[in-house]
Amino acid sequence: MPFRFDNSYLQLAPELFSLVNPTVVGNPQVIIFNTPLAKELGLEEEQLEKIKLENVLAGNEILPESQPIAQAYAGHQFGHFNMLGDGRAILLGEHISSNGQRFDIQLKGAGSTPYSRRGDGKASTSAMLREYIISEAMHFLNIPTTRSLAVVSTGEQIYRESFVPGAVLTRIAASHIRVGTFEYVSNFQSKATLKQFTDYTIKRHYPALLDQKEPALALLDQVLEQQIDLIVNWLRVGFIHGVMNTDNMSIACETIDYGPCAFMNSYNPDTVFSSIDHQGRYAFANQPKIAVWNLTRFAESLLPLFDENPTLAIEKANQVLRKFQSSFESKWLQMMGQKLGILEVNKDDENLISNLLAWMFANKADYTNTFIELSVPNFNTASIYQEAPFLTWLKAWKTRIKAEIELPLASKILLQKSNPAFIPRNHLVESALSQAQENNELTAVKDLLAILATPYDYSVIAPKYQTPFLGDEGLYKTYCGT
Ligand code: AMP
Ligand code: MG
């Protein structure tokens, strides 16, 4: 069998999941398959050829080693606590790769589960291809993320605002344990279950912490630091997750749940694309604040394990949470310094950074392309790059990195590995998706994926993929759970 399943989640308390099989679909067809990822996972070609891949990845056929489950979790959605759970995702099992790594193999859009509430358990082809494109783009941008192995069309129509073709995405993740999973266990299960689940999570993701005197506290600390790293990476490339509810924050600290996410074009810290985010809760520059809010919910879930004494438990949690601000600020400064090609950034560089951001904001300059300009002079043809405010900033920057005569090689290398030459531009993603959905034509999706596989390759000449949308960006809207 291609998958080597070892289903450790099944050993946990039965309240943490439901045994449920995917819903059989009419006419499954693999429309895209990630061969390089299959190789990385150690899924061998001859083994894959022995199974009916479209049946297995649509959920029509359950391999003998697989015991499908839907995971239970809760979560704060836009600040409100709800019971959730996998309403349209079914975990086939945990696959052990050739180098011994454990990966969840999950089918998203595979039919209803006990947690579906009013949802149909299904997903549209275009939403699943969107997740495929953007998660793969994030991976190649060197940002921790769940990945996409395949999209299988079901041959069935599902109803959204109109009838659209349905599909199932095979999602690969370090795990699907979320802040919301801890909220569920802490709120609705016993302290013993919480302890068992926390130990399980530590053993699975952070085994080095098992020897710590206070492993639960060490877990909070570790997740806090890794979430900071993740969000700083998002800010580096202009990524807006769009729905940072606590159920969409992974304890393995991968970017997860690609619903209304999008990439910012012109720089504006308040950028929001999600059609339901009216208050801008999940706006571009709000993401660090939301991360600490979510981590506070995580800490609350773990309180019983921090100390028998509730006051002391809170004190311990706060000691960790208080680190967020300074750690974030220092990692952000480091990252922005790298985006400017500064080899050793320090506090004095803050002005240089904020002046550039202020200029970008005032001039609606494209975030990605402005940073490209630094290592590729005259990349941008817009007149703002020839006018005094930008030229004055450029002069100060060149002095700082000693580039008055020539850009030092070390800075150039740093610039080009910190600043992508290619991001998934929203208009290109949408146009590729509509060709896939309306004409069953995957060429544009595949062309886009090919470009996004080498986002830091400045030798690739493909202006079409670098030109921002020239229309009214304010009209671009993204949607959850389609
Ligand atoms: P999300 O906004 O994707 O994080 O989803 C929030 C919750 O809604 C999760 O419990 C999902 O499993 C559930 N959900 C989303 N879409 C559907 C659907 N079409 N059918 C059933 N449940 C869904
Ligand atoms: Mg979710």
Q: What is the pLDDT of residues 305-325, one digit of tens each?
A: 999 999 999 999 999 999 999
- Total structural domains within the chain: 2
Distances (CA, A) of 433 to 128, 292, 334, 360: 10, 34, 36, 30
Rg, the chain, Cα only: 23
Q: What percent of the chain is predicted at pLDDT more than 70? A: 100
Check residue 32 and give its pLDDT. 98
Question: Where residue 384 falls among pLDDT bands split at 50, 70, 90?
Answer: very high
119 and 245 part of one domain: no
Domain housing 121: 8-173
Q: Which of 78, 115, 128 to mutate to test the pocket of ligand 1 (most atoms within 8 A of CB)?
A: 115
CB under 8 Å to 260, separation ≥6 — which residues? Answer: 242, 243, 273, 274, 275, 276, 277, 478, 479, 480
| CB 374, CB 397: distance < 8 Å | yes
Cα 358 from Cα 209, distance rounded (Å): 42
218 and 169 part of one domain: no
Alpha carbon nearest to ligand 1 atom 17, residue = 119
Check residue 401 and give its pLDDT. 98
Is residue 481 in contact with ligand 1, taking CB distance under 6 Å? yes
Is residue 116 in contact with ligand 1, taking CB distance under 6 Å? yes
Kindly name the residue from 86, 221, 247, 366 that is annotated as catalytic: 247
221 and 121 part of one domain: no
Q: Is the pLDDT of residue 481 over 80?
A: no
CB under 8 Å to 194, separation ≥6 — which residues? Answer: 182, 185, 186, 301, 302, 304, 305
Instruction: Flag whether 458 is in a domain.
Output: no
Q: Is the pLDDT of residue 78 over 80?
A: yes
Q: Which of 71, 77, 88 to mutate to test the pocket of ligand 1 (most atoms within 8 A of CB)?
A: 88
Instruction: Flag whether 193 is in a domain.
Output: no
- Whole-model pTM? 0.98
Q: Minimum-distance ligand to the CA of 85?
A: 1
Instruction: Flag whether 186 is in a domain.
Output: no
Q: How many CA atoms within 13 Å lie on the side-chain side of 264?
A: 28
144 and 216 part of one domain: no
Q: Is the pLDDT of residue 473 over 80?
A: no
Is residue 277 in contact with ligand 1, taking CB distance under 6 Å? no
218 and 356 part of one domain: yes
Relative to beta strand 163-173, strand 102-108 is antiparallel
Instruction: Flag whether 196 is in a domain.
Output: no
Alpha carbon nearest to ligand 1 atom 1, residue = 481
325 and 382 part of one domain: yes
Cα 377 to middle of ligand 2, angstroms = 41
Taking residues 359-384, report their average pLDDT.
98
120-129, 316-325, 391-400, 432-441: range with lowest mean pLDDT:
432-441
**Among 117, 144, 173, residue at a domain's last position:** 173
pLDDT tens profile 6-50: 999 999 999 999 999 999 999 999 999 999 999 999 999 999 999
Instruction: Flag whether 144 is in a domain.
Output: yes
Nearest atom in ligand 1 to 259's CA: 3
Instruction: Flag whether 282 is in a domain.
Output: yes
Is residue 114 in contact with ligand 1, taking CB distance under 6 Å? no
140 and 267 part of one domain: no
Instruction: Flag whether 149 is in a domain.
Output: yes
Cα 87 to middle of ligand 1, angstroms = 5
Q: Is the pLDDT of residue 470 over 80?
A: no
Catalytic annotation present for 366: no
pLDDT tens profile 437-459: 888 899 999 999 999 999 999 99
Nearest atom in ligand 1 to 85's CA: 10
Check residue 469 and give its pLDDT. 83
Residue type, 152: V
**Could you say which DSSP state residue 121 is in?**
S
CB under 8 Å to 28, separation ≥6 — which residues? Answer: 54, 55, 57, 58, 60, 152, 153, 154, 155, 168
Is residue 131 in contact with ligand 1, taking CB distance under 6 Å? no
120 and 246 part of one domain: no
Is residue 247 in contact with ligand 1, taking CB distance under 6 Å? yes
pLDDT averaged over the chain? 97
Q: Minimum-distance ligand to the CA of 249?
A: 2
Is residue 158 in contact with ligand 1, taking CB distance under 6 Å? no
Alpha carbon nearest to ligand 1 atom 14, residue = 87
Instruction: Flag whether 45 is in a domain.
Output: yes
Backbone angles phi, psi at 31, to 5 degrees: -100, -20
Q: Is the pLDDT of residue 1 over 90?
A: no
Cα 304 to middle of ligand 2, angstroms = 26
Residue 268: name the closest of 132, 479, 452, 468 by CA: 468
315 and 365 part of one domain: yes
Q: What percent of the chain is predicted at pLDDT more than 90? A: 95
Cα 137 to middle of ligand 2, angstroms = 19
Is residue 121 in contact with ligand 1, taking CB distance under 6 Å? yes
Q: Minimum-distance ligand to the CA of 78?
A: 1
Helix (H, G, I), strand (E, B) or coil at 401: coil
247 and 130 part of one domain: no
Q: Is the pLDDT of residue 66 over 80?
A: yes
